[in-house]
Homo-oligomer: A and B are copies of this chain.
């Protein structure tokens, strides 16, 4: 792999050219480069960047490196850095760094801002309050378009987004919103009052980030106002943070559906004990559940002893049941996450899964019968027992896989829990009960 020109200059210690060249690169790319450096090099590299670039690069760094850097740079550098960070980035940083750095940062922060920061830090994780920024443009409804434009042109350097404008009254109650586009196309003499939209959508500070993401997806917003109980404007949430939220929520669902507990770090940086802890709980729970399935087999020891080849079909029945259930639960869990399937649809889901599973189950059962009886030459009664059990297993798996995620939501459990691992364990047990009972009955055994 070729080395990045900036890294090359850095390692060649040609710091003068490095400084000059670094302005030509996009901050996000420079931040990515820095992740490959040793901790010692990171500090030197960062100090070599022109000040403006450094601030931007800093905001793109992973919180671990941000936190390390904040501990290493001196008081003055930290102060400068903090001054130029957007408030929401600063708060993210404060949530990551050790207590003594928090203290250092806050002691360099003006009183008024410190008060705001403390308020932010008190909002629960994953709430609108913890996602929002207070850097937005607020207008008064009596302003004219020209006044508003001049106001924006004078102040917008420090605002995270200027593309949606918020009209508030003297008590900071949100009266309306308008987009910068609407402002630009309006006549200079028009008043804000006449062009703002009074019907806006807002969220409260305690709203969950997943619900906020749903609002953004539905309305194609760039930003969304956050209000308190008295509908006073307290902040805004911007689309770039929501894109991160969407990926976070998806990762959480993937992990839950893969029988993993919430991770605390990225895979490659997480320690072995942390990765082990993330996995063992579910493995243990499911292992113990699976021993019940084993007990079912033990219960039917007699028939199995006489007709050992019944055991040969256990893996196929278990795997197909598990996969059939996983398909249905995946569809339902994902459909619910996207808001396409609601709780009221439970009967439509049951009806659909019944029909689909009948169709799929009969197809598989017939093929299976032909294969066992004719291709592999087993006795037809065995082929019949296996195939009927297969049909029953597929139907059961699909209906359970379809219902359980909806039931989970109803009792306020995350539907993603009801995915393949759990469904498989449940279906396995039921499938074997049907299999051995049916075999005992047809072959004249008493289980």
Contacts and interface: CB of A to CB of B under 8 A. Distances in A.
Interface in A256-297: 257-260, 263, 266-268, 272-273, 275-276, 279-280, 282-284, 286-287, 289-291, 293-295, 297
A330 B243 CA distance: 21
Contact of A25 (B180, B199, B218, B220): B199
B421 A326 contact: yes
Interface string A388-404: 00000010000000000
A359 B243 contact: no
B26 A201 contact: yes
Nearest to A293: B315
B297 A341 contact: no
A315 B318 contact: yes
B267 A219 contact: no
Interface in A316-334: 316, 318-320, 322-324, 326-327, 329-334
Interface string A11-54: 00000000000001110100010000000000000000000000
Contacts of A162: 180-181, 184
Interface string A242-259: 111011001101110111
A17 to B, nearest CB: 17
A348 interface: yes
Given A162-B184, A282-B323, A330-B258, A371 B291 contact: yes
Contacts of A348: 268
A239 interface: yes
A124 interface: no
A315 B287 contact: no
Contact of A251 (B312, B313, B338): B338
Contacts of A275: 352, 356
Nearest to A159: B181
A153 interface: yes
A308 B314 contact: no
A257 B297 contact: no
Contacts of A253: 254
Nearest to A305: B308
A116 interface: no
Interface in A333-348: 333-335, 338, 340-341, 345, 348
Interface string A363-399: 1100110010000000000000000000000100000
Interface residues of A, number: 114
Contact of A320 (B255, B283, B319): B283
Contact of A297 (B247, B280, B312): B312
Nearest to A27: B219
Contacts of A273: 359
Contact of A323 (B250, B286, B304): B286
A311 interface: yes
A311 B290 contact: no
Contact of A180 (B180, B255, B329): B180
A290 B316 contact: yes
Q: Which of A217, A309, A340, A360 has the most B CB atoms < 10 Å from its CB? A: A360
Given A243-B246, A273-B359, 6 more contacts: A28-B219, A253-B254, A276-B359, A287-B364, A319-B424, A323-B421
25 contacts: A149-B184, A153-B184, A162-B181, A222-B222, A246-B247, A251-B338, A254-B257, A255-B334, A257-B330, A258-B329, A258-B330, A258-B331, A260-B331, A263-B331, A267-B340, A267-B341, A268-B345, A276-B360, A283-B324, A290-B319, A294-B315, A298-B312, A308-B308, A318-B318, A319-B425
Interface of A: 24-26, 28, 32, 149, 152-153, 156-157, 162-163, 180-181, 184-185, 199, 201, 216-220, 222, 239-240, 242-244, 246-247, 250-251, 253-255, 257-260, 263, 266-268, 272-273, 275-276, 279-280, 282-284, 286-287, 289-291, 293-295, 297-298, 301, 304-305, 308-309, 311-316, 318-320, 322-324, 326-327, 329-335, 338, 340-341, 345, 348-349, 352, 355-356, 359-360, 363-364, 367-368, 371, 394, 419-421, 424-425, 428-429, 432
- Ranked nearest first, the 3 interchain pairs of A and B with the lowest CB-CB distance are A258-B330, A293-B315, A220-B240
